[in-house]
Structures are given as C-alpha cells and as structure tokens.
Structure 1
Amino acid sequence: MLPTFAADDYIELAADLPATLQAAIERDLGIDPAQYLANAEAARAASDVATALRAQGVDILGTSIDGQDVTYNVADEADAALAEAAGAEVTVGPIELLDSGREVQPAQDHKGGYGYAYQVAEADETGSFPLSRCSVGFSGFDADGNDRYLTAGHCGVDEETGEQFTYPVHHIELSEPIWATEDWANEFPGPELGEFVPGSMHFGEQHDGGLVDITNPDWTGVPQVAGWAGGSGAPDENSVTIRGPIDAVTGAQACKSGATSGWTCGEILVPAQSTPVGAQDVTGFIFNACLLGGDSGGSVVVGNYALGVNSGSTHDGRTECDSWVPATGPDDTTGDFSIGYSLSTGEYNALTLLGSEWELSVAINTPQVTSPEDGGQTGPTPTFTGTVEAARSTHRVEVTVDGEQSYEGTIADDGTFSVAATEALAPGEHTYEVVATYGNHSRSEVASGTFTSTEVQAEALTVESPTNGQTTDNPRPSFTGTGQPGATVTLAVGDEVLGEATVAEDGTWTIAPSADLPVGERFDATVTQAFEGDSQVVTVSDLGITAAPVTITAPEDGSTVAGDVVFSGTAFAGATIGLAIEGVVTESSERVQTAADEWEGELVVGEDGSWTFTPAEELRDGEYTLTATATLDGGDPELTSSEASVSFTVGAEGDDDGGELPDTGSSNVWMIVVGVGLLVAGGVAIAIRARRGGSTA
C-alpha cells in the first residue's frame, strides 16, 4: 500500500541542503542526509494514506514509522478490518503518550526561523522598556495574498493578563544563532517588520498559534526556512525550501529552525498530546530535538514539508544544546523533549484555528511541458502534458492559450499533469502559458511556448464486424474496424462504455467488450472515434445475442428408465420452461384409460435456467416422448425460443403388464398443467406444459 523510497534517489537533493543542516542530521539522527530525505518522503506518504483512510471512515488515532515501516493506530477492530483491507499495518488502541513530570517552559523569545523582537510594556521613568523575542514559523498569506507569517501564539500574548501585544514587530539582524548573547537587544529596534494580527494570537485551550503581518514593503515572505548554514551559521545560507504541509508521524525525523539555536534534529515521539507549556495547556507533537528560549514560533520540518512551530521544551533556562539529553520514547521520564504546535495534525492545529486567516506559502517548481512541443504542431484541441517536480495531488495546473482561454487540471502524486483544451482552436500559431498552483496564492514560474494548430482530416471510422442485424451466441463478441491511426475508439451500449482502443499504425482497431452484451433482446452499439478535436460515430443496429438453447439431460434419448424418473435439463437465466409428454402405455386386458388434464409434480427452475421436474407418481411402463421449450417473457423469440425432444422407455421393452396413466387427482403441490389429453389406439397420449407456481385443489 505504501511506497518505499531509496536514499540513492535523494543524493542530489541532499547535496543542496545547508551544510550545517547536513551536519545536524548526521549529528542528531545518526543517518546521512539522503536517507533523511527518503525517510521524510515515506513519512509524507504515511500521512497521506492516513488522510485517505480517515476519508473512508477509519478512525485513525495515530501513525507510527520506524525507518519506512508504517503502523496505523485505530480505534477498534472494525476500523482495523477496514484499514487492513486497504493494505495497511494496524494496531488497535492509541499511541502511547509521554509520561514525564518535567516542566515545559515556553521558548519565548523572515523566512521561517528568523528572529523577531518586540516591546512588551511601556517605558519606565528611566526610559527603558522590556523586550521579548521569538522566531518566525512559516511564510504565508492573508486572504488577499498579502505577506503574513505563522508563529507561536504565546509570543504575542501577555502571560499575566492574557492581553495581546500591540507593539510593532522588528526583525533581528543576525549573522549566526543568538545562543547565550543578548547583544541583539543593543540593536533594538532595528528594521520594523510588521505587527501582530489583531485577535490572532492564541495561547492556551490547547492552542499555541498566531500571525504577524509583514507591513514593511522592503520585506517579502518566501517559502523557505532559514538555513543557518545548516546548523549555527548565517541564517540565509543554504535555506530549506517548503513544498507543503505534513502531519506528525511517530518515529518520523524532524528538524527545527530557530533564532536561538539554529538547526537541531530529532524524532517525533508522540504525534498529538496535551502538555502544560508554562501555565497553559497546548496540544502538539512531542519530539526530542533541542529547543531553547527564543526558538519559540520557529519552524519544524520533515524534509521539505512544514510540520509545525516551536512551542516549548524542557530547556530549564539553558542557553546551549550540549547538555540536551534527548528523551528516547514515551516511557523516558528523565530525557529532554520539546513540543511543537502542529500545522495540520489532530483536532488542535494551526490550519483549523487560523485557516480562514492564513495560507501556507509553498514553493512550486516550474512546469516542464512535454506536449505540445514548443514550436510543434497539434490538432485543433491539444492536450497539454508534462511534470511539476515535487508537486502532488494537492497542487493544480493552469493552462492559458493566447492569453485568453484558460483550462485547469489536477496534478498527480507523481507530479504529472494532463489538461485538454475543450474548444477547437482556429488553424494557425498559438501561444501557451502553464503555471502550477497551491492554494490561492502560491504559484510557480510560468512555462511558455508556441504551437501551430492544424485542421484535422481524420481517416473515416468503419465497423467491419459485427454488421447490422447480426446475431451470435457469444455474449462478448469482438468489434473490429478501421480508423485514424492514433485515434481513440470507444464502444458503448446505451450509456454504458464497454471498451476502448487506440487505432494501430495500420489503421485497424479491435475492442473486446468488458461486460456481457444484452442477451435475448435486440440492441444498438455505438462506436466513437476521437482524434484531436475530430469526432466520428458509427452505430451498429439491431444486434442480437442468442440465449443458450434448452436441453434435456435426463432421461437420455433412447434410454430405458424406471417409472420414478426425474426429468432435468438446462436453459438460460430468466427462461420460462415448457414441458410436453406423449406416450403409449403398454396394452393390457384390464387397461384403465384416464384422460387427465393435469400431471402432478414439482418443477424447479434455477436462476441460471437449469431445471428439474419430479412427477408426483411414477410413470407406467410404455413408450414416451418428452419435449422441452424455453422462452423469455418480453424477449425476441428469434433469440430466446428453443425446443429439445428425447424418446425413452419406462420398464422392460415389450412388457405386457397392464397399467394405467398417472393419477393426477387433487393435490396441494407444485405441478405442471396438462395442455390437452388425447386418446389414441393402444394407449393414451397426454400433452402437458410446465407452469411456475401452478397448483390444483
């Protein structure tokens, strides 16, 4: 169900990671950067599958990953059955939570990971005023597309009063992470960046998210996280590009960026847990990367995907990470851990809380158009195909022809797209522009080119077999014909499409229906050819599929049987079975002649048309002929009506023992109804017809 990702496929991408981040990955996780990126893709795929399972009604309590082995925690056995049917490895019950008595302190303190500072109170009589600082989470947009970034909610709230700060936010100019120095405060206020979005700073009641507007026109938010030269260097060196959001997955390797300690990495221990952060409860993911005061609000990523923002940790006021001892799991009560406020995981997350006010900024690669070729030729309704590297089904693609007509389509999880023009273009040269999008405001660079539209003169569509009025006993006869090489030919009966084929280079095509055609009734089949805006239709009319003929399997023709013979045979589903018997009973001096009009017995016709008739009384010795007929109510008799006969002997041939015809007096059993009784020389001939549900009193 889940794909695996090879580290070798990520060597080139890993080389583009900041050198300091590569060092942090190797130092903190003990793996190479290529494996880190491969594992990040596996975590992203696990997150996507969890979302798909939830959409199918599975109650997913959490997701765990060990390397690339994924397990889903579900609520009960019914959920487990659904998830296992989809190919998932599951366990029933919640993921174990971290049980630690350690106190978690808020890490109070553009491009994610940058530091920002702000005044938190009015100046005193000496003219001095207290400052605070935090880190930027992720760049994004307000509803109108203006720059706005996500950070921790506690950064913008007075913890004593609960009031939101209204002082301006200032960018902190840094050449490396702050660590223990407070020299940044000597440069305050520095460049004014923007302001806290009124009413957006939420801290407590399980949330820790807030928004800051970038109002300084000198600054433009970008979908990146400060690189810190990969660890503790300059913030703009080797920044990390954000490709989209990701849910928390236990065991996934996560790295955080913050202005105090730069890059540090660890593993997610719990995907969602309520934890006291200072005096408030916050629900978020528990991970064991080092997080210090002032890192709050900074970015937490899994590979190139946005996981959440730094909320708090067990830093105990320390200003370095050397003494940080990462917790090893939920049962580790002494190790250090951090909490991140999730972008999208669980009930409490930033997109649920602030989604109407904020949209994540996502980097999108420029589309690579494979068709039509730049400067090439197409038919009047071209299909635009290509790839957008690293894009997924959360992205879309827009195609604009001649700057006027636009067409939109989705991108597959493998980054491919296909968008067809729905209106025929005039012959001649045209221009196109293709752009990939995410949400309402993230857009790629434009891929552009030209092509020439030509009039299509497609080869005529023909259907060579079957022909009008043709019948066959094959319920799935092949349709064959000729057409335009490369064209798509489809077969339909009514509104149901039953097959598709591409016309071969020699102009021939064949379609074998994907389901049985209607049996026993006349119908029309429609064959359609589509080729670059040209469409042709051929209707093959009055076709018929003949039903299977009725048979008599017992008694066999020419056989001698006992008088308690059970008659049986086959027909077709839905058939009405008729039976008729004629016979001459062996002569005797004390013959009893009965002109009965009913023959008692039980007739059973199965759903597949198989049938049996069991007479209520034995047949007397004699010579008989049995005739079976099959018809279909409302069907075409030419396609459904059939007849079969057998002759058989009851008793020893030439036996002179006297006898009489079956007594068919009153009975409350299922029976067949006699059509006519005939008296003939030397015996009695009786014609009988089967009728479902008939009975006599």
Structure 2
Amino acid sequence: MKQARLVASVLAAGVLAAGSIFGATPRGIAQQSDMSDLSAADQAANYPASLEVAIERDLATDPITYASNSLAAADASATADALRDQLADNFGGAWFDPAAGRLNVAVTSQGAADMVRQRGAEAHIRGVNEERLIEVSADLRAWIDGLPAERRALIYGLSTSAKTSSVTLAFSATSAGRSLAAELPGDHGVELNTEFVLEPPQTQQAADLLGGQGISAAAEDGSELASCSLGFNAIDGQGRALALTSGHCATDAATILAADGTEIGVPERVAWNSIADGDDGDDYASVRVQNPNLIAQPAVTDWQGGTLPVEGVVAPIEGMQVCHSGQTSQWECGQIQQVDVEVRVNGPDGTVKSQRSFWYDACTERGDSGGAVLAGTLAVGLHSAGALTPDDRRCLSTIGEQNIAFAEPLATDVIGDFGDDLRVLTTTADTDGDGVPDHEELAADRTTVHDANGDGVPAFLDPDEPTLGVPVVTSPEDGSRHTERSLPIVGTSKPGATVTVTYRGQSHLVTADDRGEWRLPAEEQLALGHYEITVSQSWTATNGSQWQSGETTSGFFIAPGPPAITSPQDGAEIDETAPMIFGTGEPGAVVELTVDDVDLGTASVVDDNGEWSITLVEPLSHGSHTIAAVQLVEDVGSNPTSITITVLPSEGGHTTVIPEAPGGPGANPPTGGDPDLADTGVSVALLALLGTAGLVAGTLLMLRRRREQLGVAGQTEAD
C-alpha cells in the first residue's frame, strides 16, 4: 500500500467528497510539462464553442477568466506542496479561491502565517494542523472498520476539508443511517459534520453506445461489458501509444473498442480495487493501442469534429475550476470541492469499492466514466463515478445545489504508479530537451518504437534525434580565463562519433569513446590572448545511416598570472596615510593599482628581479581600504590581487607630518630628488627625541639604504 499522508476513510457516496487520503502517494506533479509560455488568452483561443458554452453555463464566467483561473490554480497547487514541506507541523491544508485567484493556506502559528504571506498566499490561523486531521480520520476509520458489515454499508464516506479544518461523514439518509450517525464517537478536538445521502455514487457506464468519442469493453466472446469514455492518450517508456480510462471500464475485458466498433487495443494494466481490502483504492486502466491506423494525439475531442490540446499535467487543489469531457455529457464544468478523498462506490458488478478520488461538482452521466477532467488545457484526472437520482434523471444535487462527481488524479496517483513507464501526451512535453515536443518524435505507427538512428534509444528520449546534436566543449569553459598556457581541449559528444575541432586555424579529428568523451591534447605553449574553438560531429548509426551535426563555437582567454602584494600584508593596520606598496610580478610587466575601486592613474614596471613598488600619492583616510593590483603583459591584463588594510589615526589625534629636507623649506633632498623623509613619514616628535643632527643624518642614511634594497619608487614609476 502506498504511503498515506491523510489517512482518511471511506468518502461519502454521492453526497460529499472530501479531502482525506488513505494510502496516497506524496502529492506533487509526477510529470512536468513546459507550461511557462501558456497564457489565458492562448488557452481560451483553443477552446471549442461547446466548451465555451459549458464554461458560461456551469461556472457563470467567461473562457478567458476560466483559463486564467486554471493557470493560477496550477501555480497554487505547486506552491501548496512546497509550503506543506516547508511548514511541516504548522501546515493545516490549502485551497484555491477562484473568485480572488489566490491560494489560501491554513496554518497554526503567526510565524507560519508570515511565511505563507511571503509566498503571496492568504494565511488563516487555525488550531488544527493537517496531521491532526489525519489522526482524527484514522480514528474514525478504525471505528467504521469495527462495525458489522450491514451497518458499515450505511456510511458512504469520510472526508476532511482544508478550507474548514473539519471532518465530515456521509450516512445513508435512512432511519438506520441516521441512527448510526447518532452513535458517532465525539470530542476529537476537531469539528465533525454529518451529511445524509439518498444514493451512493455509481460507476457511470452506458447501456448503449452513443457514438462519437466513447469506448466500450468487449469480452472474449465479443459481448459488451462496459461503455465508457477515453481519458487521455499517453506513451510508455519506449514511446508506444497507450490510452487511459477508468479501471472499472476495463475489468475482465479482452478488447477495448472505439465508438464505431473499431478495435483500439487490449487492457494492459487495470487497477480497480478497494482500500477496505488493503489495496490502494485505484480506478484506472492503461490500454495498449494495437491498431496502427489510430494516431494518439495530445488532445481531447471538442465534440465538433476538432480537438482541444492538452498542454500539461497538474495536481488537483481545492477551488480549482475544471471541465469534464465524456461521451454522454460531452462538456460539463464545475469546481474541485475537496481532494485526497476516499469514497465508497457501487461498481457495475454489484460490488462496493472504497476508492481514492477528488470531488468536483460537475454534472456527469452514465457513459462518462474514464473521461478527461481538465483545468483549462491541463490534464487533472480521469472521471470515475458520480451521483445519480434513483430514476436516473440527469444529475443529482444532494448537498445544496452541488453536483457530485469523483475522479482519479493523474499527477498524484496514476503517473506516480507507472513512473517512467507512462507519460501523458501533451503538446509541451520535451523529455530529451532537444527542442522538439515528444509527440512529434513518435512513430507514425504509434504501436511501434521510433528510433531512426538505431542506437537503441527512442527518439523522444534521444537528444540526437531528429537531428544529431552538436558536441559540447567542457574544458576550457566558454568565457573562462586561464594562466596555464598548455591546455587540452576536452568535451562530450555522441559515443563513437568523430568530432571535428577547429582551433588556432587548424582542424583536428578526434573520436569519442563509448562514454561520449573526447580529448584534443595540448600541443604547445599558448601566447596571451583570446582563443576560439569550433566543434561539430559526424556519426554512422548502427543501421548504416549517416548523421552530421551543426557547429558550435566557444572561447577562452589566456592571461598573465596576477601580481603579488608583499607589503603591507593583507589585514595590516598601519598609521601611514600614504604608504608605499611593494610586490612581485612578471619582469617587464606593468603593474597598476586601484584603491577602493578607484584607479590611481600611476603604474610601476616590474624590474628584472620581479619586484615593483608604488607610492600612494593621495593620502588615505582613516579606516579600512581595499588595494588591488593587476599586471599587464603584452597589453593583456591579469586578474586582480587585493589586500585590505586599515589606516589608524596617529597618537593624540594628530596626523603624520612630513619633515622638511635639510636646508630648510624648498631645499632639495640630499640625494638628488630621492624624497626619503617624505616617504619614511618620520615625525617632528621623533626628530625632537633624536636630539642631534648626527642622529638625524644617521637615521636618514639608514632609511635610504632600506629604500635602495627594496627598490626606489621613483625609478619604477611609469610616465
């Protein structure tokens, strides 16, 4: 049995469908389709006139508003799933408000409410979380299971509602049912509601074929077992056609026929079981299409000789407006009232099944079972059951004015059960990401596998069909910069393909290995500058066909390594406002500095010993500064090297004073223009402490020698 999230119980027959799951797989869209380009206007433009009539009749709205709501509800469904995981125990359920076009989320804390509002949803603080609803549903389910069979049959269903944070049980509207309702165990800390229903839901098969878009199930002797509707077309893991319908429509069937008696195929996987028997409560079937003349399309009939495209798959959410397409009712619309519902359904063979569904309030009739339920052009589910009056009049409103219909969710049940063995056909799905929709990469004969290049990978899964893709250069990466001057060219392609690498004016041929990896070894040291690589590939398929890809070009840059800053050290704290910056680099390179991203406009040439120095001309303010250095070799710049230093204020709050040169103001420095005193920053206070001219001269001589050892700034500055 699947992992349950909401352990609901039997959902009411024909009166109230609800929001508890029993044995449901985790919610979330199991099949993703690219719906990013869809718009309400685009959707509505595809609606047939008959669907527009149903939208206006059943939903009292216009097609564009309905389409807009379907897209907003799809987004709300995905957001609700994300919030369920994010909020954990603070999550109380979610629903969509079509009037406001907004997601609503029940939460149990103010912090959770704030998180919900940050996602653009409306928050409702409640005292009950989703887990508590699960627990109450489980307790009531245990109570139901402990009843004698004849009394248990009086309960048509059990449901939970995220919108009201409540649990509802539906009983038979007989005196025995009302008597049992009075025995309902109470005080669960959760609001309990009771509803009374005249008749349980019925599977909706037609006694007679109505023609058009219906299907029928035939026994081995050719007799008709059921008359239903087709839901959606799909493909298996090899791209061969499947058709989806309800499981109760295909049980015991040998063949599935079209409305005109044409054979469609045979049931392949049939699920029509009951949660009460320890199963998953599913009601779906896949039909293996065996008629090569039937072309499965990503579309639903519009009942006027045309089609409505199916553009994606979405999980149901409370409040989502949907429309149903079936052979009897054709188009009927309503709103999803609750999801993750368990409902007791009377089957065609007289058995009662507890199945997992979602409840929507559209009118449905006999023969509609298995039909498509859509939100706009997005596939939501397969119609499974509905409530009828005892005399089979059209539609029954047992809860106020609401109709009762149940459907098997595609995203959370059907697709999840099949995994990669089933994909609903949509106009947008592109599994291999080659820009060609899956449905355009299937064989003309949908019963066969399309693999034009014979590599054993179906075309819809092979990015090298319908055309051979271009190879990829993985190293050097496009736009990357390198200081290493001996670089191999490495990439990926079709395994066994011959890759043509055009590089530095020459073309080279390399062969990809069985993993699709190829390599062009480095030949020689590269000069500094920009380089381009153009690659293409050719390949001979196992069936002998020849394939040639297009070309793709990437580029990289060879740059000198960054210079080093040796003094001051990174993180140093200094009291000089105009320090000298020392470093190393490539001999002959020009080093340029920036301070706090401002170009100083000065440069230094790295000497033969690989050393350079630059004196800051403008004094630095007190505080933190970032000094960055780059070096240019052959006019090609390196990546920067940077350090951060902090300039401290001098003691007593005074700034550093630069002493006059010997001889008084305006006198020349003692060594022909070498401004030792200015660079050393010897203060007047220090000179006073030294006390004598001899000591001053000795100090200046010592500082001059240190300067000469490190390299005089005046000798390395560029003009």
Q: When you count helix as a share of all residues, which structure comes out higher? A: 2
Larger fraction in strand: 1
**TM-score normalised to structure 1 length:** 0.49
